[in-house]
């Protein structure tokens, strides 16, 4: 099949800026007079249950996804195209579309972890006899896989060693232009409707007025957030000093929900940091934001190197720990009723909003695994279900790390949640915000366990 149409399969790259799949397809289509068929599939497997019986995609993340897909459709319509939306497995939907519209090429962003790769393999197996050309692109990391100073099997097992090898000659590729125009889809094509939460088997949710930020899905909101944080509020210059704050919207960038769905490009963030350094100032904070993006990259490279070991009970290091599956204790942790204020405040924020700060995540994960001895996979799956910004590499990589079975040079890393509360919430403002029952507790006692339940 030659000189026929192109399908752009959107997955976790829900944007039109710096999207290599879309840009590459648009260049070929323009030169050859071809048509582009952009598609997003709501895969029912994403809305099933986890192995411990949690919703695989909870309502907060599903709502954010729906908003992000809707915004992608709006942005594609601004280019004179549209987004085809289907509810079903890509392996079923895409072959049907290919047959109907003389499509000879699929452009898509390759994923790293097994569930996503299995879908790619299934689709390839179904279409290989039809000579469909698969063109996959690497867009989930700041550093391109091909630009690393080593092959993935030689990836260092410690982040510090990784950073010291990549930082001296950091290679960050330029962003891809946004297409100016795409050919319209055939008028006869039913582009489909975006499913509601009810269609996905989930209940509607109301915004929480105590939320640190009212997150809205989509590329437009992502770019607006970056503009606010970098340029309007000028908060990038103090990022390193404030990033561990838990209470305020601008304590940290809060880019992660948009990054998880690819509504915001990592290369674009990097370019904006460099522009900020040129126009305003370069300091420890501008460096530190890039440092944190490298951590995000590292977990993706770890997942590429180790595969499904990331999800095994013994973790990346094959350490056999006698984890408990004590549901009574787990439920106390899950609902924010342990009696330890820092743990409970963070878990209640997660339950009410789908968000938790990085500092909070480190503490609640350490508490579940080190203090309670609970199977870390239960915590990882609960985060998968509830977090707005869930992505498999960062979530499971961090849980490995904090459970002591992952990429950490210190086997006994354990957070003292009382000391952490004193250090990062000295006046108890965050605790009182999410635990109003502590409103009248003296500061001297507010960080101590209250009505200890474990």
Nearest to 61 by CA among 215, 213, 210: 215
Could you tell me the domains of the chain? 5-137 (3.40.50.620), 141-175+217-306 (1.25.40.80), 327-446 (1.10.579.10)
Distance (Å) of CA 214 to CA 208, 254, 337, 365: 8, 11, 25, 24
Q: Could you give the CA distance from residue 188 to residue 320 in angstroms, rounded to a whole number?
A: 58
pLDDT in tens, 369-424: 999 999 999 999 999 999 999 999 999 999 999 999 998 756 667 999 999 999 99
pLDDT one-digit tens code per residue, 69-104 = 999 999 999 999 999 999 999 999 999 999 999 999
Q: Where do runs of H (alpha helix) occur along 15-157?
A: 20-32, 59-77, 90-101, 114-127
> Which residues 6+ apart lie within 8 Å of 158 measured at CB?
407, 408, 409
Q: Under a CB-based contact definition with an 8 Å cutoff, are residues 51 and 57 in contact? A: no
- Tokens 């000189």, residue? 3
d(CA 384, CA 57): 7
Flag whether pLDDT at 307 surpasses 80. Answer: yes
Give the span between the Cα atoms of 278 and 282, in whole angstroms.
Answer: 7
Structure tokens that stand for 187 in this block: 């008028």
Indicate the pLDDT class of residue 168, thresholds 50, 70 and 90: very high
Token readout for 134 is 């698969």
Provide the pLDDT for residue 407.
84
Q: Which residues of 261-277 are buried (b: 16+ CB within 10 A; e: fewer)?
A: bbbbbbbbbbebbeebb
Q: For residue 250, what are its two tokens? A: 């601008």
Tokens 């789908």, residue? 354
**What CA–CA distance (Å, rounded) separates 68 from 234?**
26
Rounded CA separation 70/76 (Å): 10
Q: What is the pLDDT of residue 442?
A: 95
Beta pairing class for 133-137 and 5-10:
unpaired
Rounded CA-CA distance 326/273 in Å is 45
pLDDT of residue 412: 67
- Work out the number of other CB atoms within 10 angstroms of the CB of residue 170: 13
The separation between CA 52 and the C-alpha centre of its own chain, rounded to angstroms, equals 21
- CB neighbours (10 Å) of residue 358? 15
Judge contact between 13 and 262, C-beta under 8 A: yes
Q: Which two tokens stand for residue 244?
A: 């561990």
Q: Which pLDDT tens digit goes with each residue over 320-374?
A: 999 999 999 999 999 999 999 999 999 999 999 999 999 999 999 999 999 999 9
- Give me the residues paired with residue 109 across strands: 137
């Amino acid at each position: 099949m030659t000189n026929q149409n192109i399908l752009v399969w959107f997955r976790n790259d829900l944007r039109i800026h710096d999207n290599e799949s879309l840009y590459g397809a648009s260049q070929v289509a323009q030169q050859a007079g071809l048509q582009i068929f952009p598609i997003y599939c709501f895969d029912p497997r994403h809305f099933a249950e986890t192995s411990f019986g949690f919703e695989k995609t909870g309502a907060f993340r599903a709502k954010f996804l729906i908003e992000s897909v809707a915004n992608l459709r709006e942005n594609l319509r601004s280019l004179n195209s549209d987004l085809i939306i289907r509810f079903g497995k890509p392996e079923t939907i895409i072959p049907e579309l290919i047959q109907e519209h003389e499509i000879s090429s699929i452009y898509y962003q390759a994923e790293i972890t097994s569930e996503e790769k299995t879908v790619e393999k299934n689709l390839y197996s179904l279409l290989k006899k039809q000579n469909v050309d698969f063109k996959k692109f690497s867009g989930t990391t700041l550093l391109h896989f091909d630009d690393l100073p080593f092959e993935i099997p030689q990836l260092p097992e410690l982040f510090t060693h990784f950073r010291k090898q990549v930082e001296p000659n950091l290679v960050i590729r330029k962003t891809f232009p946004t297409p100016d125009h795409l050919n319209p889809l055939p008028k006869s094509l039913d582009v489909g409707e975006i499913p509601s939460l009810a269609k996905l088997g989930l209940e509607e949710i109301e915004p929480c007025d105590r939320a640190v930020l009212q997150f809205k899905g989509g590329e437009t909101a992502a770019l607006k957030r970056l503009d606010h944080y970098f340029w309007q509020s000028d908060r990038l210059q103090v990022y390193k000093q404030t990033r561990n704050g838990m209470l305020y919207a601008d304590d940290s960038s809060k880019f992660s929900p948009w990054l998880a769905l690819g509504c915001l490009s990592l290369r674009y963030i990097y370019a904006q940091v460099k522009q900020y350094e040129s126009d305003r100032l370069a300091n420890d904070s501008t460096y530190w934001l890039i440092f944190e993006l490298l951590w995000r990259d590292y977990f993706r490279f770890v997942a590429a190197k180790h595969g499904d070991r990331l999800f095994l009970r013994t973790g990346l290091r094959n350490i056999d720990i006698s984890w408990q599956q004590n549901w009574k204790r787990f439920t106390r942790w899950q609902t924010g009723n342990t009696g330890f204020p820092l743990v409970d405040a963070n878990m209640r924020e997660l339950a009410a909003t789908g968000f938790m700060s990085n500092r909070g995540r480190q503490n609640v994960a350490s508490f579940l695994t080190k203090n309670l001895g609970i199977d870390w996979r239960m915590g990882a799956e609960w985060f998968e279900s509830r977090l707005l910004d869930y992505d498999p590499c960062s979530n499971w990589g961090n849980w490995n790390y904090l459970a002591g079975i992952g990429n950490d040079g210190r086997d006994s890393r354990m957070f003292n949640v009382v000391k952490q509360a004193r250090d990062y919430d000295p006046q108890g403002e965050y605790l009182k915000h999410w635990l109003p029952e502590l409103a009248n507790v003296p500061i001297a006692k507010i960080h101590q366990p209250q009505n200890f339940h474990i």
